[in-house]
Amino acid sequence: MVMASHNPTTIWNSLCKLRLVGRAVALGFVIVAAWLIAGPVAVFLSGGNGIIAATVAGAVCLVGGEAGLLVGSFAGGPLTAMKGGMVRMFGILSAGLALHALLPALAAAGFIFYLLAFYMVGLFAETILFLADSSRASVIKRTV
């Protein structure tokens, strides 16, 4: 029986090959995985309102992250791709503050804490995906 190896170089090479849709799907998987961890904690701490707060926070971070990936992919370079990060940050934090202020039940269930947790997880994942994309772009430029 042959065991599949999970060599970090192989994983990195796979990430480098991802296009925009692949990076968006990968980000979705990361946010869902984080939600699978946060969900039981949310139910334990706040019951039904907790799971709703965690779900809404995850959805806000996913939508903001996807928008950031989209803007960053069309920005044209590493420095201008930071515009994607700014779109992500502004969208997530402004939507999060508005929801926190307008929905007291979400606020009481710890919405802002879930939002910040998902924000950090998404930021880490997007940074890795951006670095992989930049690495792929630099290899393409060197071979042309």
Total structural domains within the chain? 1
Please write the tens of the pLDDT for every residue from 90-122. Answer: 989 999 999 999 999 999 999 999 999 999 999
Assess if residue 38 is contained within a domain. Answer: yes
Residue 136 pLDDT: 59
Assess if residue 49 is contained within a domain. Answer: yes
Assess if residue 116 is contained within a domain. Answer: yes
Please write the tens of the pLDDT for every residue from 27-69. Answer: 999 999 999 999 999 999 999 999 999 999 999 999 999 988 8
Other CB atoms closer than 10 Å to residue 106's CB: what's the count?
24
Residue 1 pLDDT: 46
Assess if residue 43 is contained within a domain. Answer: yes
Residue 88 pLDDT: 84
Assess if residue 50 is contained within a domain. Answer: yes
Assess if residue 14 is contained within a domain. Answer: no
Domain range for 84? 20-143
Euclidean distance between CA atoms 40 and 42, whole angstroms: 5
State if pTM tops 0.85: no
Burial level of 5, CB count in 10 A (0-12/13-18/19+)?
exposed
Assess if residue 4 is contained within a domain. Answer: no
